[in-house]
Structure 1
Amino acid sequence: MYTKPYTISPSAGKRLIAKAMLKINEIVEALHNRTIVIVAGTTNGYIAEEMLSHIGQDEGFSKQRFFRGITLPPRYKVHQSGRLEDGGTFTGDVVIQKGKWLKDKTLFEIVNDLQEGDIILKGANAVNCETKQAAVLIGHPQAGTIGVIMQAVAGRRVKLYIPVGLEKRISGNINELAQIINSPQSSGVRYFPVTGTIITELEAINILTGAQAHLFAAGGVSGAEGSIWIAVTGTEEQLNQADEIIKEIRQEPNFIV
């Protein structure tokens, strides 16, 4: 077995995760024969691009404003809910039903029709890789998209995937943090712990190559802020595959609104 280090920027990580999602058998099956809902979010914008391209229906889609809430530098004007004050153009989530993109639909319009075998993809704002926990920031008094998602997941066994980049990694216990942030004595955003199948860059490398990836350092400047260092361990063939994949994604432009 061999080990090789790679650096991956947040935007390259999003592209890596997006490519890995199309190598998951049950997702490909649902893409053609069931319903998949890709809930708006920055990472999910890359996934929507890949999936819509896969079914030959990517014309008219842009990931540029494919989000509801977003974290930005202080110079941007953002509502307490996380939405940009300029409004922008939000055309809905991406709903793909039996291989057809149902344009201009949102999760809220389709969620009550979802059944076992259908899949929802929803990003997260925090991930603890050790405990396999994730959390979503809440700005809506009725818990926003994750509130209705969990009704479908717990009530009708709809499968939830959580694609999330390692720039959102935390070390704390997410359930304990939720108790602090959601306390009646707290103000600002709320915090929703969520369980599902978490896909970070580490899982993406494993899905795409069969190799094991480990996070061992992070950080950067001049546009590389949030970047990660991963060590990939595998056979010579697996590392050759990793080389090709990283070469393909490493020049992914930074996501700018």
Structure 2
Amino acid sequence: MSASESSRQFLLTVSMGKRLIADALAADEAVLRAAKEHCLVVIMGSTNAQIAAALAEKLSLPFSPQGFHRGLQLGPARAVEHPAPQSADFIVRAGELLRDKTVFDIADTLGKDDLILKGANAVHLKTQSAGVLIGSPVGGTMMPILQAAVGRRTRLIHPVGLEKRVERPIGELAALASRSNDGKGLRLLQSCGEVFTELDAIEALFSLRAYLLAAGGVCGAEGSVLLTLSGSEENLLRAERYFRSIQDTPSFSL
């Protein structure tokens, strides 16, 4: 840190982190260009529900985050009754919402100018790689996504919260998941997509460097991260005002 820079600590809850990532991506020129001029695909997920809501507001499109998810990791022995999930991803082509469509319907039409946002279940910060849990015997949404991303160079971004960080490289963990002796449990797929965490969102929105200092807490701070932000005092004040404005962001609910 140079003599002209300042630093400050901020605590982000999981819900604040999702909101931060959503606001940063909804302000990103490449994301907006894909939605307005090409095709943007936001795959159903808890973080992506926030992203789709932010984009829908910016693009004046209808959207409800209720039920915008596929598989969910719930607490142990927790029985939850909830409405059926939505049946469509949030897909915008040339500014128009493609209603009742999923990535399975349009993957074959995606190309290098298009963009896919797909959440992740694991992130390895050192290698900037993401892993996606696979429960489907045919690979779930990642199969058509990889066909587009690998086969036709469609840009793929994984918005993922820091609470999903893992210690070992994703490829190593994927191999462990595949070696289950009883043949049960989820698999883990290492993706070729880009990682976008709260650290990236802070740099994009406020031109600040963010470092993970500590994590965890209780009474609503479970899964939270304590970050140190470094940069100009002006940008730190902007970040502080923003974090104050989102501190009451509600937790994900069904």
Provide the TM-score with structure 1 as the length reference.
0.93
- For 2:187, the equivalent position in structure 1 comes to 190
8 A contact 1:94–1:101 mirrored in 2: yes
* 1:1-257 correspondence runs (5 A): 1-58=5-62, 61-77=63-79, 88-183=84-179, 185=181, 186-257=183-254
Is 188-197 or 156-165 further displaced after alignment? 188-197
Any stretches of 5+ residues in structure 2 without a counterpart?
none
How far off its partner does 1:176 sit? Answer: 1.0
Structure 1 CA distance for aligned equivalents of residues 235 and 88 of structure 2: 38
Any stretches of 5+ residues in structure 1 without a counterpart?
78-83
Structure 1 CA distance for aligned equivalents of residues 164 and 85 of structure 2: 26
Deviations 1:160-215 (A, max 9, x none): 01100011011111111111111263521011011222110000000001110001
8 A contact 1:52–1:101 mirrored in 2: no
Structure 2 CA distance for aligned equivalents of residues 64 and 166 of structure 1: 23
Structure 2 CA distance for aligned equivalents of residues 169 and 89 of structure 1: 26
- Aligned-pair identity in percent equals 39
RMSD: 1.5
Provide the TM-score with structure 2 as the length reference.
0.94
8 A contact 2:210–2:229 mirrored in 1: yes
Q: SS of the counterpart of 1:147?
A: helix
Structure 2 CA distance for aligned equivalents of residues 124 and 91 of structure 1: 19
Number of corresponding residues:
249
Q: Which of structure 1's runs of 4+ aligned residues deviate more than 4 A?
A: 84-87
Which amino acid is 2:172 matched to?
A: E
Structure 2 CA distance for aligned equivalents of residues 92 and 37 of structure 1: 11
How far off its partner does 1:87 sit? Answer: 6.1
How far off its partner does 1:20 sit? Answer: 0.4
Q: SS of the counterpart of 2:167?
A: coil
Which amino acid is 2:228 matched to?
A: A
